[in-house]
A and B are shown apart, each in its own frame.
Chain A
């Protein structure tokens, strides 16, 4: 574990990891405090995907979003946010991992509106898996599992895409303030 630990953190500076931790903090704060009270399933993905893609854009290094997901998942479990308990870890890590995979394919995605929307949809679609796992564990019929998972993830994908569309605007404003030193070559 020590070797994995050192390998993983070789690329990140202390400033990077603290900022990524703050992105996880914002994810938790917005999830619990700034909810839109729409009572529509999936609207929490609006801020979740925004901060995932923003973290990946501000710290353009591999596994940045996964790290944000891991920290946010741990914080959610520690604070008891979300009804899934320990399954919250998976709910945060999966979208982060998918964002990192997308970044590996298209490093400049955080400044492109279409790319952000697509990544927002892909990341939000991971909710499909978490619903599938929970429903399959209790032995639900597969037809109902698919209906439930699709229904739960569809709204999340829409909100995720909308939240992701805000990222290029924010990244450009932060670059204009000379607050970001982005090298997307990693």
Chain B
């Protein structure tokens, strides 16, 4: 039952915009260059006023998906998250204005929003997290990068903890299955049975991690002037 559920819902990180391994020219491009190209494509989406510009840009971005070796399935996974928003925009335009002209205006605007964010999807699909983190080091203070790296490192750990605690609590009868959580009455049980034990675990892990880091000489606060540890 657990295996079929995992296949149906996928793992926690199995979502749109996830990195796809490949050896395409897009994958091999430098992350900084890719980011600049993605920003330029997003900027074109903003200024694309005519329908032919939007269609050309859409064709270009779909072409980039093909060049990157990302198939139709991957393209659909990334496009589908925008579908609801495009439909809402079309509906709002049709309600506000004439239904026919409202439909076309809504569709144009929806496509522009899609084209605004799609280059970011191509960037994330073809750039490893390690490359992104390497770039972060250059633009952010070291202490913030430390927190980001630590948080990133503990994502699988706490995801596993959460699954184990949820499983054990459900075996004890806690009403925290996805179907039971559709009932707002059970939301308190979610916090009592899952989040509080998880937070207790998090506080203790934070204590242990802090002690461990300090034992290795890592400090989050600046060394004061005149302190023996401060090097000239």
**A33:B148 contact, CB within 8 angstroms:** no
**A9:B220 contact, CB within 8 angstroms:** yes
The A1-60 residues at the B interface (CB cut-off 8 A) are 1-2, 4-6, 8-10, 12-15, 17-26, 28-29, 32-34, 36-39, 41, 54, 58
Question: How many residues in B have their beta carbons less than 8 Å from beta carbons of A?
Answer: 77
**What are the residues of chain B within 8 A of A25 when measuring CB–CB?**
151, 154-155, 158
**What are the residues of chain A within 8 A of B207 when measuring CB–CB?**
15
**B151:A13 contact, CB within 8 angstroms:** no
Give chain A's interface secondary structure class: helix
A15 (CB) vs chain B CBs: closest residue: B210
Of the listed stretches A109-117, A121-129, A172-180, name the one at the interface; the rest are far from the partner chain: A172-180
**B155:A139 contact, CB within 8 angstroms:** no
A105 within 8 A of B: no
**What are the residues of chain A within 8 A of B123 when measuring CB–CB?**
85
A70 within 8 A of B: yes
A92 to chain B, nearest CB (A): 12
**B141:A144 contact, CB within 8 angstroms:** no
**A141:B45 contact, CB within 8 angstroms:** no
Most A-side CB within 10 Å, residue of B116, B195, B207: B195
**What are the residues of chain B within 8 A of A169 when measuring CB–CB?**
188, 191
Decide yes or no: A21 and B151 within 8 Å by CB, A26-B158, A173-B196 being known contacts: yes
Task: Select which of B96, B119, B155, B200 is within 8 A of A75 by beta carbon.
Answer: B155
Beyond the given pairs A14-B210, A22-B206, A138-B109, 18 more chain A to chain B contacts, judged by CB atoms under 8 angstroms and listed by A's residue number, are: A13-B221, A18-B150, A22-B158, A22-B202, A24-B147, A26-B198, A37-B178, A67-B144, A79-B155, A80-B18, A80-B125, A85-B124, A134-B113, A138-B116, A140-B109, A144-B89, A170-B191, A170-B195
A residues apposed to B, CB below 8 Å: 1-2, 4-6, 8-10, 12-15, 17-26, 28-29, 32-34, 36-39, 41, 54, 58, 67, 70-71, 74-75, 77-81, 83-87, 134-135, 137-141, 143-144, 147-148, 151, 162, 166, 169-170, 173-174, 177, 179-180
